Chain A
C-alpha cells in the first residue's frame, strides 16, 4: 500500500494531546484539532461541541483539493491555508505532509499570534508523528486483528 497505516498509541496520543491543549491556550483559540490527510480525527481540544467529524472530513477534502491545485502549478504543497469569516476564522497547517493542524479562532486573538504558536506546535508534532510512523512500520508490532474470526465479523451485522 502507498501510505503506511495510521495507528495511535496511548504514549504518543498523550504527547499530541498536550501540544494541542497548550496551543488552544497559548493562541487563545476556540478549538484546535489534528486530523490525518484521509480525514480521520486524531485529537481535539477546546470547544469540541463542534461537529469535529464533519470538520475533519471537509478539511481533508480541502487540503486534498489544494494539493491538487499545487500539483497543477508544480508546487510541492501549499502548507498553510487561512479562511476569514465575520466571526470565526480557520487556520489550516499541513504538518510533515502527513497530518493537518486546524485552529479555529475568533476576534479574541490575532492571526499573527495563531501563526506564531502554530509554527512552534508544528515542529513538535512533526517529531512525534515521525517517531510514530517508524513504530507502526516495525514488523514485530503486535496487532489485535490477526485473531478476528469470521464469526466476529458476522456478529457485527446481526441486527
Chain B
C-alpha cells in the first residue's frame, strides 16, 4: 500500500517488476537507474547471486516530481524469476501498488511466460489482491532477438484483459520509460479513485 506523509508532503508507492527468469526485469531497473538524474534517484540495490541472477530482489527508489504539492516517490522492486524462488517472490508482492509483467518475447520462453503469469495471479491472490483490480501493465521484452513471437500473438496469450502493453528492448532502453510511465500513471489514478 502506498504511504502518504502529510508532514513531509510525500506519496510513496511500490511497483513490482514480475516475470520469468532472465526476461530482463533487472535490466529494466538498471536502464532506469542509468538514465535518471542523480537528484531523482537513490541507490540501486541488487541482492544477486555470484552469477548476477536476482536472489531476493533489486530495489530502486525514484522521485518523479510533484503533484498538487506532494512529492511522488516510487520504489521499484524486481522479484527473482527462477521458479524455485517462489517463497521470496511472495514476500516482495506484499504492499504492492502496481505490477509490471515483463514477458520474454522469444518463442522458446512462451511456456515460461504463461507459468510466471499464473504464478503472479496465485501469489497476488494469497495476499488478497487480484490482478484484475490492481494497476498493471505488460512489457514484451527482447524484441531484438531472433525467433520471437509476433506482438499480436503475445498479446492474445498474455493480455486478454487488454491492459496497457509495450514492446521493449530493455538493454537499449526501448520501451523502458514508456512502461514505467504507464504504470506510474495507473498507480496515481488508482490513488485518486480510492481516495488515498
Q: Could you tell me if B6 and A156 are in contact, using CB atoms closer than 8 angstroms? A: no
Contact present for A40 and B12 (CB under 8 Å): yes
A2 to chain B: closest residue by CB: B128
Q: Does A128 contact B (CB under 8 A)?
A: no
The size class of the interface chain B forms with chain A is 35 or more
**Among the listed B42, B68, B94, which residue makes an inter-chain contact with A38, where contact means beta carbons less than 8 Å apart?**
B94
Q: Are A6 and B91 in contact (CB under 8 A)?
A: no
A120 to chain B, nearest CB (A): 24
With both beta carbons as reference points, the residue of chain B lying nearest to A35 in the complex is identified as B3
Instruction: Report the minimal beta-carbon distance from A6 to chain B, rounded to whole angstroms.
Output: 4
Chain A residues within 8 Å of B194, by CB: 1
Give Cα distance in the complex from A154 to B67, angstroms.
Answer: 10
Q: Mark B2-20, 1 if CB is under 8 A from A, else 0.
A: 1111110001101000000
Interchain CB contact under 8 A, A143 and B196? yes
Q: Please, how many angstroms separate the alpha-carbon atoms of A143 and B70 in the complex? A: 12
Please give the distance in Å from B128's CB to the nearest CB on chain A.
4
Which residues of the partner chain A approach B188 to less than 8 Å between Cβ atoms? 148, 153, 156
Q: Would A152 and B67 count as touching, CB distance under 8 A?
A: yes
- The answer, yes or no, to whether A8 is at the interface (CB within 8 Å) is yes
User: B87 touches which one: A51, A68, A150, A156 (CB < 8 A)?
Assistant: A68
Contact B91 A146 (CB under 8 A): no
**Which residues of chain A come closer than 8 Å to B95, judged between CB atoms?**
3, 36-39
Contact B6 A7 (CB under 8 A): yes
The answer for the CA separation of A6 and B65 in the assembled complex, in Å, is 21
**Chain A residues within 8 Å of B, Cβ to Cβ:** 1-10, 13, 36-40, 42, 51, 53-54, 57-58, 61, 64-65, 67-68, 143-148, 150, 152-157
Q: List 16 A-B contacts (CB under 8 A).
A: A7-B3, A7-B4, A7-B196, A8-B6, A39-B75, A40-B12, A40-B75, A42-B3, A51-B42, A57-B75, A64-B94, A68-B90, A145-B195, A145-B196, A153-B188, A156-B184
Q: Apart from A7-B6, A143-B196, A148-B188, what 13 extra A-B contacts exist at CB < 8 Å?
A: A1-B129, A3-B1, A3-B95, A5-B2, A6-B2, A6-B4, A39-B59, A54-B59, A64-B91, A68-B90, A148-B67, A148-B192, A150-B189
